[in-house]
Structure 1
Amino acid sequence: MSSQIAIQKVSQPKPKPNQAELGFGHFFTDHMFIMDYTAGQGWHDPRIVPYGPIEVEPSVMVFHYGQATFEGLKAYNTVDGRILLFRPYANAERLNVSNERLCIPPIDPNFTVEAIKSLVEFEKNWIPAGEGNSLYIRPFVIATDPYLGVKPADTYKFFIVLSPVGAYYPEGINPVKIYVESNYVRAVKGGLGFTKTAGNYAASLKAQEEAKEKGFTQVLWLDGIEKKYIEEVGTMNVFFKIDGEVVTPSLEGSILAGITRDSTIKLLKSWNVPVNERRISIEELYVAHDQGKLEEAFGTGTAAVISPIGELNYNGRTISINGGKTGDLSSKIYHTITGIQNGSVADTFNWTVEVK
């Protein structure tokens, strides 16, 4: 695979969006990255081109059989004028975990990071200023064979698009209300739950829609077999502080190995906070609440970083966590990770990668 990235500049740059109205995922930069895969040739022709529609045949396999993987990470302006990526090699390696499960050829992680850095450097003027703002990076792969037949494709395209963003949830660092899903099933061990693939998110939409109609921000999924063990929130891994110990569901093949999840666990251990990765049932959580031992709950993910959970509703019973307020530990984790990301907190873990 050639590492020489060709560049085609846009003829007319777009106006930048108002930073106060960014939201999440609404705006896209002037350029994107594309690379092709052909069986027998491998990955080839990496290039940065103007952002815009892609032309494919209606029969391309991604539309019919769902061979699609993606990642999500961010670029940040630092207080001293640098541009930092947060753990991009972890994202590149996790993309290959998803690729392997969906029979998509792997991409050299070092080249993936090189491509991300090149595109971010080229579009650095799109990184928004302001607290909590960043440039969201979406690498993704799709199958492109024009063929109606169930098999792994022989051709693929790897894209990277960039989006200037604000807070993922309107609540920001304020606690969100979560609906515990007891009807629908998202994933089971042996399936695709541990990957970042389009089908996982399609499977969650119906429950998410119904939860929003009831006034909840997100859905907390239970396991797909017994429907009793906590797995993850739709866009986040989840943590609970119970009687001084932080508990998070263990990785058993049906939930995503979140990079912010891993960062949170490493931080907690460095602070000598007890942390336990294990199975935890929704009943155990409600008992802990009744006993006054459920101290905090929060989600972790690239988009929101840390999102405190102030309320859970399970089978019609609502519980308030920490009085519906952001807990001290949730706040400490949030400010530490975002501080590392924007360069205001020392990166003792060597998590950040500087763009040129």
Structure 2
Amino acid sequence: MNTLMSDIKITRTKTTKIHDVDFDNLNFGRTFSDHMLVCDYKDGKWQSPEIVPYQPIVLDPSAKIFHYGQSVFEGMKAYKDANDSVWLFRPLENFKRLNISSKRLAIPELPEDIFMEGLKALLKVDSNWIPKKEGSSLYIRPFIFASGNGFHASPADQYKFVIALAPSGAYFSGKVKVLIEETYSRSANGGVGFAKAGGNYAGQFYPTQLAVEKGYQQVIWTDDTNHEYIEEAGAMNIFIRINDTLITGPTSDRILDGITRKSIIDIAKREGIPVEVRKITVSEVVNAAKDGSLKEMFGAGTAAVVSPISGFGYKGIDYDLPELKDTYATFIKKYITDIQTNKSDDPFGWRVKM
């Protein structure tokens, strides 16, 4: 056994909550398992991780997370197959991105063994919380925040790393209708758009709320300069199919390097689907909608995997997408989820057994 795993202190809950949970009717991210992993950074180094009962975190009012927003997170899922084996999907990519995000926000980078071995130990303790129902999974939320105290505008001297688990159903049900943003920006060049920083998402809520009031479910983000280029779909990367070609924008300071995004690109290449990674203008999408060459749009991310878009609004006009029988979205989502749940071969080596 790994030395760190054998050294992780485990304090088990005295009373499990699992018998109160309806695993056939799970919302997304509203139910939490019995335990969580915690690890503190202090005295210039990360300490030993512990597994404790799921509980509130007590912080001083001067904790810097409240004042200067040093907070990053990841989103992952664990799956259980027909033989009760537990699987993760590309977990090292999440670990690497967590540290990329941390570095940008001046948070100390986390050692790989604390992340991976801590996660393995936590999943072992709460393995009964992994749902087996089709479309459900155990959502994993690793996050780091500034727990050190002080009102001085500078990086904290203490941080807390936590992994919490939430058995969850589908993130979205059905297709979504989106509004192409013309005023607000998700991020800017030289900023933190590429990081999974909590503040990125906080800044999205107000424009999204305005879109919801107009009858849309999500916002399509455009560039910060002229709102000329398509960038992301809500909290997800975006793919656009024109005729038979799948198009997605390149990553940059503004766009998250999504793990699902990278996986879709690799699948498309392997399966002979024409795929282009390039800038795509709003006008190109609108013109494609007008002439009938726009076949599909969908968001891509860990929570929803693939979220089909039924239509979009732009400059007061709504454009509906055609209803196709065989879509790239359906094919790709099944391709990924079959790998994740051990229902198919994994030609890429993405699936990791716990």
TM class by shorter chain equals over 0.9
Q: Which deviations, in whole Å up to 9, do the C-alpha atoms of 1:199-224 show, x marking residues without a partner?
A: 00010000111122222221111111
Is 1:26 equivalent to 2:30 in the alignment?
yes
| Letter aligned with residue 330 of structure 1 | A
- Pairing 1:79-90 to 2, within 5 Å after superposition: 79-90=82-93
**RMSD of aligned C-alpha atoms?**
1.3
Give 2:217's aligned residue: 217
Share of identical aligned residues, percent?
42
**CA–CA separation in structure 2 for the residues paired with 1:91 and 1:288:** 35
Gaps of 5+ in 2: none
**CA–CA separation in structure 2 for the residues paired with 1:72 and 1:78:** 20
| Letter aligned with residue 9 of structure 2 | A
- Pairing 1:103-252 to 2, within 5 Å after superposition: 103-171=106-174, 175-252=175-252
Gaps of 5+ in 1: none
Give 1:253's aligned residue: 253
Calculate the TM-score normalised by the size of structure 2. 0.96
Q: After TM superposition, give the deviation of residue 45 of structure 1 in Å.
A: 2.3
**CA–CA separation in structure 2 for the residues paired with 1:181 and 1:19:** 37
TM-aligned CA distance change 1:92 to 1:326, over 3 Å: farther
Q: After TM superposition, give the deviation of residue 327 of structure 1 in Å.
A: 4.8
**CA–CA separation in structure 2 for the residues paired with 1:353 and 1:185:** 36
Name the SS for the 2:24 alignment partner: helix
Q: After TM superposition, give the deviation of residue 326 of structure 1 in Å.
A: 6.8
Tell me, yes or no, if the aligned pair for 1:16 and 1:126 is still in contact at 8 Å: no
Tell me, yes or no, if the aligned pair for 1:308 and 1:326 is still in contact at 8 Å: no
Pairing partner for 1:35 from 39, 42, 45: 39
**CA–CA separation in structure 1 for the residues paired with 2:347 and 2:187:** 36
- Pairing 1:301-340 to 2, within 5 Å after superposition: 301-323=301-323, 327-340=326-339
Tell me, yes or no, if the aligned pair for 1:76 and 1:341 is still in contact at 8 Å: yes
| Letter aligned with residue 166 of structure 1 | G
Give 2:52's aligned residue: 49
The number of residue pairs the alignment matches comes to: 349
Calculate the TM-score normalised by the size of structure 1. 0.95
**CA–CA separation in structure 2 for the residues paired with 1:68 and 1:39:** 19
Is 1:342 equivalent to 2:337 in the alignment?
no
Name the SS for the 1:93 alignment partner: helix
| Letter aligned with residue 29 of structure 1 | S
